[in-house]
Amino acid sequence: MLILPKELLTFKKVGRRVSLNFATEDDVNEILQLWHESKGLTLREMRKKFSELEDFANYKFVRGLLYILSKISDFESSEENAYKIREFLFSFGPVLEEDRRNKILLEAERVFGFRISDDKMWGDLDSFKVFRSLKMDFTPLKIAGLYNLALILGTSSVSNKIRIKTSKNIRNILYYTRKLGLMYEVDRGEIIVFGPESIIRNSQRYGLAFARLISKILKQGDFEISIELPQGILNLSDSDIHNFIFLEDEEEKFDSSYEESFFRLVREVFPSVKILREPEVDISDAGIFIPDFKLISGQNHIFVEVIGFWTPEYLLRKAEKLKRFKKKILLIASEEFALSQLNPKEQNSGISNNPDIRIITFKRELPYLEIIKFLKSNLAVEVGRAQKKALIPEYILESLSAKLHDGMDIRSAKDIIASEIDIDFKEVLKHLNYSIEWTSLVPPVGRIRKKQDKF
């Protein structure tokens, strides 16, 4: 996904209305031809060459188009030993005298066998890389389409709020909004999307999420979008599409590490259970609610919602939706950032006393054992022997393996394990190939012993 940087965005403003300066095929023709003729030049040389086309009115457009072309082109280092050259020169430390500087350069030329220049010394950095070719056969019309899409996405990345109207794939838009970690409201058929951070503290991740959402909506069509910018309002609809070209995006991933951990846990421990992400939309007076997961085992099913780091206002809206959700649901909530932020009265009357809602809280990491026990009883499934180790993440096993040692006092070992994970310490020792050598059961005294590997 190509996004124009903030400093290269071009638009017109009339009152509070903002319109974008879209490119046409004719606008791109000359620059694309000059780009093709620049094979063998470094990117720095190409920028200097194209600066001759710039004037006060078009310099942002020219530089924006060069930014797009550089992203879809193949470059290679002008000197493969550039790092070694810098390492050799810098080993002499700061050199202030001209004579000494010249002697060091002569020595470097003797060692490497060629004249040392900036192109050689910095040849592995972008500005000094050499242009070879475009990655695909892009026509001027396609380049204009790439630029126009990047212009819209760049503009949306510096916005404060997005309003969306569409009659097509509303569920997919809400699903993707949630997946990107953005908060939303639904008001009279309009989806209003906010970022997870304060508008004042606009972050790179915040802007990228907005851009990804807009790209998704533009790709599916049938839309009216209002993008609120500090400068004014940008309104877009299907009629504003200007030959957009969409490049293939990278594989989409979980936005929340907690959601990903839960998903993997179910997959590994209960391989027979079907797990669906963002399974269905529930609409009530409180708005639209989409649970994170639905687990299905035979005739048994349960919904799951993972609440991590959200604002108090968002959590209150979430509580209202949960009160109206008339299905069995497991709520896995951050103890610090979720339940403690809710109004106690709302919490007691709306969530905690609802028999269809089971709440499991966590601090640093998901309470794997408690989750497994709940799902086992409510889905009527067994945990097989081969899956038991999945209760303990691999990185925790590695950390504990480094901290425990043969002959360690059992109380010390138990404290170390408890500081890493909330699982029975005997189960953890078993996975790490330790046994317990008891010297007294009352009071419990003993040491852990590393078992010998069998060959």
Digitized pLDDT (tens) for each residue of the chain, 455 residues in all? 788 888 888 888 788 888 888 888 888 888 898 898 888 888 888 888 888 888 888 889 989 999 988 888 888 887 777 878 878 877 877 767 888 888 888 888 888 888 887 777 777 778 888 888 888 788 888 888 888 888 888 888 888 788 888 776 677 777 778 777 777 887 777 888 875 444 444 455 667 788 888 888 887 777 888 888 888 888 888 776 656 766 655 444 565 678 888 888 888 778 888 898 877 766 666 566 778 899 998 888 999 988 765 556 666 777 777 777 778 889 888 765 454 444 444 444 456 667 788 888 887 778 887 888 899 888 887 655 444 454 566 667 777 888 888 889 888 888 888 777 766 778 788 888 888 888 876 567 888 888 765 43
SS3 57: coil
Residue 220: CB partners within 8 Å, gap ≥ 6? 166, 168, 169, 172, 173
DSSP H stretches of helix in 200-334:
204-220, 257-269, 312-323
Q: Which of 98, 102, 77 is nearest to 89 (CA)?
A: 102
What helix, strand, coil percent values describe the chain, rounded to 5? 45, 20, 35
pLDDT at 305: 87
Residue 42 DSSP label: B
User: Residue 207: CA atoms inside 13 Å, Cβ hemisphere, count?
Assistant: 19
Q: How many angstroms separate the CA atoms of 103 and 109, rounded?
A: 10
User: DSSP string spanning 261-288?
Assistant: HHHHHHHHH-TTSEEEES---EEETTEE
Which two tokens mark 44?
């720095």
Residue 255: CB partners within 8 Å, gap ≥ 6? 179, 180, 181
Q: Which helix (H) or strand (E) holds 64?
A: helix 59-71
Sequence length of the chain is 455
pLDDT at 295: 92
Which two tokens mark 246?
């969409």
Q: How many angstroms separate the CA atoms of 330 and 371, rounded?
A: 9
Which two tokens mark 293?
């997961």
Q: How many angstroms separate the CA atoms of 46 and 391, rounded?
A: 56
Q: Which helix (H) or strand (E) holds 163?
A: strand 161-165
Determine the topology of domain 257-384 in CATH: Trna Endonuclease; Chain: A, domain 1 (3.40.1350)
SS3 422: coil
Q: How many angstroms separate the CA atoms of 68 and 3, rounded?
A: 9
B/e letters for 47-80, b = 16+ CB within 10 Å, e = fewer, are eeebeeeeeeeeebbbbbbbbbbbeebeeebbbe
**Residue given tokens 């950095």 in the structure block:** 125
List Cα–Cα distances, 353 to 151, 287, 346, 357, in angstroms: 50, 22, 10, 8
List Cα–Cα distances, 296 to 140, 164, 300, 305, 326, in angstroms: 51, 33, 6, 15, 17
**Residue given tokens 């533009």 in the structure block:** 218
Cis ω before 443 (30° cut-off from 0): yes
Which two tokens mark 374?
């709940």
Rg of the chain in Å (alpha carbons): 30
Q: How many angstroms separate the CA atoms of 447 and 377, rounded?
A: 35
Q: Give the CA angle between residues 95, 97, 102 to the nearest 5°.
A: 80
CB atoms inside a 10 Å sphere around CB 171: 12
pLDDT at 347: 45
Q: How many angstroms separate the CA atoms of 68 and 35, rounded?
A: 12
Between strands 329-334 and 300-307, the pairing is parallel
Q: Where are the domains of the chain?
A: 6-74+137-240, 78-128, 257-384, 392-450
CB atoms inside a 10 Å sphere around CB 32: 20
β-pair partners for 450: 434
Q: Which of 94, 103, 218 is nearest to 152 (CA)?
A: 218
Which two tokens mark 69?
């072309």
Contact 283, 310 (CB under 8 A): no
SS3 364: coil
List Cα–Cα distances, 251 to 1, 189, 204, in angstroms: 12, 30, 20
